[in-house]
Amino acid sequence: MAGLGIGLLPRFQAARFVADGCLDEVLPGWSKPLVPVNALFAASRYQTPKIRTFVDHAKNAFPAAAAAG
């Protein structure tokens, strides 16, 4: 990968390559601004278990976004 340029990768995706020495972190301490994540679904008296499970999972996966909204 040497000499192929600069890329913005998710930390979980790049961590192994940084640890192996295949990638170098160019701007340590910098991170891109947070992007809001929204879940839209039809309002219904009876919400399907699949929808509720997904929304609950998303809240846990993105705790900063859940706290803001």
Nearest to 37 by CA among 22, 16, 59: 59
- Return the CA Rg of the chain: 18
Does this model's pTM top 0.75?
no
Query: b/e string for 8-47 if b means 16 or more Cβ within 10 A?
Result: eeeeeeeeeeeeeeebeeeeeeeeeeeeeeeeeeeeeeee
**pLDDT tens-place values along the chain, 69 residues long:** 667 788 888 888 999 999 999 899 888 888 888 777 777 877 777 888 898 898 889 888 877 655 555
